[in-house]
Amino acid sequence: MDEFDLIHSITPRTIHHSSVDVGIGDDAALYTAKHGVQEIVCVDTMVEDVHFKLLYSSPEDIGYKALAVNISDIAAMGGIPKFYLVSIAVPPKWTQSEIKAMYEGMNELAKLYHMDLIGGDTVSISDKLVVTVTVIGEVEKGRACLRSLARPNDIVFVTGEIGSSAAGLSLLLEKTHSQTSAIDTDYFIHRHKRPEPRVSVGRLCSSFKRAALNDISDGLASELNEIAEASCVSIEIDESMLPVHSHLSKLHPIWKEWALFGGEDFELTGTVSKSNWEVLKQECETRQLPITKIGHVREKTESNVILKTDNGSRILEKKGYNHFK
Ligand SMILES: Nc1ncnc2c1ncn2[C@@H]1O[C@H](COP(=O)(O)OP(=O)(O)OP(=O)(O)O)[C@@H](O)[C@H]1O
Ligand SMILES: Cc1ncc(C[n+]2csc(CCOP(=O)(O)O)c2C)c(N)n1
Ligand SMILES: [Mg+2]
Ligand SMILES: [Mg+2]
Ligand SMILES: [Mg+2]
């Protein structure tokens, strides 16, 4: 079984409400609730030992990340997050104060975005903790940054830097050991545990008539393939332009794999027209938001995503984190 095939197979062929603008297939769903506004809804689950280990994650870390990954999906639609609901399945070993600490972790981030916790559900489970967060946000009607909005000649960009979260995970799982104290391993670990959703960049993109966005949960290669598929275009990126932390390559020889396929960076990748790119770059510079051009959108060819390297070019397959592979 493949995660993406499964989702495809359960996608309904008909909808009952014409107010549904975007259903299954993007970072979040969109429906028109009131004049001039589209509501955005998304949900993501985190499971102990699949998404985090108690060995290195505090209850606050778990709560923080469970909300962060959902705010990131709202950012990837160009929206403003407003409300959240939390469903928890808690094993017997958890104390009430640990659960409260998990909500404190969420609240840390919710405060920043002025978000309200408006509901949820609590059940017991025999073994591992499961946290499911639903976030509701909104975007001006017609301004959502859909995966299907990339067009030939657009500029392809990514925010922040990629690969650092995967490096942090590798350090936490003790698959990687730093040979020198000159490398700030805590930095990479922090990037893994406490991703920062890029809401401001999403909002800048939603001010353009058209922008495609996706947030990086499964890895840059996977997310760009999703944009290329949804937009019926090909995407060409340049390996030498990929933004990575200056210490990443010193940590482990597989650093390029981390950057392309590692995932959980929760940065945004997307495409805008050439003229909008100049505006976006300038606006990001003014606000000190890191953003990097990494390539171009092309007319559709048989390969969805192409990576140009020093030795030529290769197809970047939709390889990355996949729950059933
Ligand atoms: N079990 C499911 N039932 C119905 N729809 C689903 C299910 N799982 C995923 N989807 C839908 O499929 C689309 C893609 O979901 P996916 O979870 O891959 O995206 P994402 O949340 O952006 O990525 P990630 O979960 O890796 O952070 C979304 O529209 C989502 O709502
Ligand atoms: C203990 C442990 N092992 C592996 C990973 C890596 N990982 C888990 S889920 C995922 C993709 C995003 O999740 P989703 O697609 O569910 O949103 C990635 C890259 C981790 N975080 N912790
Ligand atoms: Mg997403
Ligand atoms: Mg999801
Ligand atoms: Mg995923």
Question: What number is the ipTM of this complex?
Answer: 0.96
Residue 311 lies in a domain: yes
* pLDDT tens, position by position, 140-153: 999 999 999 999 99
Residue 20 lies in a domain: yes
* Residue 176 pLDDT exceeds 90: no
User: Which of 78, 108, 140 lies at the terminal end of a domain, its last residue?
Assistant: 140
Residue 325 lies in a domain: no
Residue 244 lies in a domain: yes
Using N-to-C axis directions, what is the helix angle for 274-286 and 199-206, rounded to 10°?
140
27 and 84 part of one domain: yes
* pLDDT tens, position by position, 243-297: 999 999 999 999 999 999 999 999 999 999 999 999 999 999 999 999 999 999 9
- How many Å lie between the centroid of ligand 3 and the Cα of residue 311? 32
The pLDDT value given to residue 19: 87
169 and 278 part of one domain: yes
Which amino acid appears at position 14 of this protein?
Answer: T
134 and 151 part of one domain: no
Mean pLDDT of 93-115: 94
- The pTM for the full model equals 0.95
**Ligand 1 and 264: CB distance under 6 A:** no
Residue 51 among known ligand-binding residues: yes
- How many Å lie between the centroid of ligand 5 and the Cα of residue 219? 9
295 and 162 part of one domain: yes
* Overall domain count for the chain: 2
Residue 185 lies in a domain: yes
Residue 198 lies in a domain: yes
Residue 30 lies in a domain: yes
- Range of 219's domain? 147-315
Residues in the chain: 325
**Ligand 1 and 154: CB distance under 6 A:** no
192 and 136 part of one domain: no
* Average predicted confidence (pLDDT) for the chain: 95
**Ligand 1 and 10: CB distance under 6 A:** yes
Residue written as tokens 């392809």? 156
Residue written as tokens 């390539």? 295
CATH number at residue 57: 3.30.1330.10
Q: What is the torsional sign of CA 309, 151, 272, 22?
A: negative
Nearest to 24, CA basis, from 182, 156, 147? 147
210 and 301 part of one domain: yes
Ligand 1 atom nearest to CA at 3: 18
CB 48 within 8 A of CB 39: no
Residue 61 among known ligand-binding residues: no
130 and 156 part of one domain: no
Q: Which residue is closest in CA terms to ligand 2's atom 12?
A: 217
* Residue 86 pLDDT exceeds 90: yes
* Residue 1 pLDDT exceeds 80: no
CATH number at residue 224: 3.90.650.10
Q: Which residue is closest in CA terms to ligand 2's atom 10?
A: 321
187 and 155 part of one domain: yes
Residue 323 lies in a domain: no
Residue written as tokens 């505090």? 58
